[in-house]
Chain A
């Protein structure tokens, strides 16, 4: 054994492509599933959430105006980055979730495959969810799915990586930008993934991650007037209805998962797209 001291990482927020500490200066202790010290993770504040929403709003039109092909390339690039750093991810998952190496590697594999799954969706959503409508008149009428806008994600608490990947990439692949609250007790895999987006051509602000106390931050996100949709996967059961009601303030699209969602699907994609229908006259 070497007696070299390792250099430990500071786990920070991801807001608008930068990695700030919480503006509040707060942090909280995160331990491994077995109880040993892992890190003092930034404890995000209401202000951090609001800054993240501003960043997401600022990035949204640019992200949506990129071609679907380009968005797919960016998501696929994230899969490439994750694959090349899979051992690091697996270590994070093993510590955070308290699983053995084999299980953590399986989780990482499933998470990377989920990235590939969503990378392939970007340029197919319109073909599956959109179409032309044969209206009874001289009109060319077609419906296209467009993103809701800014989506707040309260990431599932137990699945520190796969649950996070699924919840954030579904809205992102459809052209939304995201403010995600990472799992409160197991935030480090999500923070690492956020760092990977920095080397994956993700435009700043497309994915913003706030770590901290879900009970404190989730209501802020759910009530924020400039958030268009919210995924409540990680909200405590007794708070879900309340958060959903807060979302009603700005008529948010609210996604409440149906139990355990391990298999890839497009439910989360559909949750955060709108249908835009265009009528165009036909005539000489």
Chain B
């Protein structure tokens, strides 16, 4: 009996009718310029590139490709705004600008959710319930810090760094923009933000929101482009701070390129999160948590629980139930409100997922892939679980950044900790157990910046997020998140 037949035998013909959100709500414009000094303008070269809906490969809009000249203009604008306006703006005033931005995001949340889903491929349920509300919440939270920096624990009257260059990834486009901009502005910096090449649109809507908030020109500049744009920003001599979220590979390059400069640096990089399941864990919640931990956002999550470490005594049952649950995931149209797993963000990412999963099979792991039908057009990858994975396998060591789970087993808590820490990364881990003392014992020993107990993939503006080891340094969120933008 295949997994699908198994699922259907329990659920009969329990299918959902399509419930698509309208793409028209996004009001995507045919083209967008660079947002510099409070205005949209063309790139100096007039070069543009298309941003594509990964669910159907259709072009959504044309955006400007910022070159070195444009980067220089954006940094100059941020510097002027810092010197003339923002550094003289009181914390209470900055606070009120940030509150305005938060409210405007809330007001335009439906539009933003659809924009995000169109551009990124993530299910509308996630952009609507996670990305956009959390982005607004981040601005709300840091709005409250702007006039309370003296209380943040960094001494009296902590000062900003100056001009921050911020480079963000494509997996949570607007949320990552909020994570970067909100603390930077609260602390008194001005910003040049570069959204990811494949997901620029929500940041450009955010630029419109900044206009509606009447944020002074130049305080935030948003420039679109590819890796060369990011490199020009990193290399610009008048940037005081680089904040980067993305791959460890690129993070390493950025650290090298800024090593001999005055630039402050924070990096939020890759991960290979271990989700550790003890035999006393409540099984229903745990299965849902594992599923959410790896298939949330198609697994395009740096803290994804991509390694499942399950105690041997319950391994067979956990695997059986996981495979059954994977069959039930609804994969397809991201705009459909019932969709669980959407499109892979780009052809390049799909290729990488395919390559790494091919290694999974050739290295001897056992593959279970959902028999779901995949759409003809667009970039898709069916949810996949690998069992019988060894620690030496590439699928246990390398970040796949896709809907692929590797299952390993352990016997004792010591072994679970050893295996969980057997990685160069150190971003996030999960622990599933009813025994609080053991959870804390394990948590103390895990080398990870975030540890979730009996839950996974929780985010909150008050809670610091970030990595250890090759997952980067610096924290975003919480009181700690201010440190990344203060000269302390």
Contacts and interface: CB of A to CB of B under 8 A. Distances in A.
Nearest to A128: B151
A136 B48 CA distance: 61
Interface in A259-284: 264, 266, 280-284
A63 interface: no
Contact of A264 (B147, B153, B437): B147
B438 A284 contact: yes
Contacts of B438: 283-284
Contacts of A283: 437-438, 441
Interface stretch (A94-102, A116-124, A215-223): A116-124
B437 A282 contact: yes
Contacts of A281: 436-437, 440
B141 interface: yes
Chain A at the B interface: mostly helix, strand, loop or mixed?
A: mixed
A282 B433 CA distance: 13
Contact of B144 (A119, A138, A280): A119
B143 interface: yes
Contact of A123 (B96, B144, B151): B144
A182 to B, nearest CB: 26
Contact of B462 (A127, A138, A280): A127
Which bucket holds chain A's interface residue count? Answer: 20 to 34
A145 interface: no
Contacts, number: 71
A266 B144 CA distance: 13
A123 B463 CA distance: 11
B148 A120 contact: yes
B478 A127 contact: yes
B137 A124 contact: no
B92 A116 contact: yes
Contact of A121 (B137, B144, B444, B479): B144
B175 to A, nearest CB: 16
B140 A117 contact: no
A117 B146 CA distance: 10
Interface string A164-184: 000000000000000000000
B145 interface: yes
Interface of A: 68-69, 72-73, 76, 113, 116-117, 119-124, 127-128, 138, 140, 264, 266, 280-284
14 contacts: A69-B140, A69-B141, A69-B461, A76-B99, A120-B147, A124-B145, A127-B478, A127-B479, A128-B479, A280-B437, A280-B440, A281-B436, A282-B440, A283-B437
Q: Top 10 closest A-B pairs, CB basis?
A: A120-B144, A281-B437, A282-B440, A127-B479, A283-B437, A140-B440, A282-B441, A284-B413, A128-B151, A123-B462
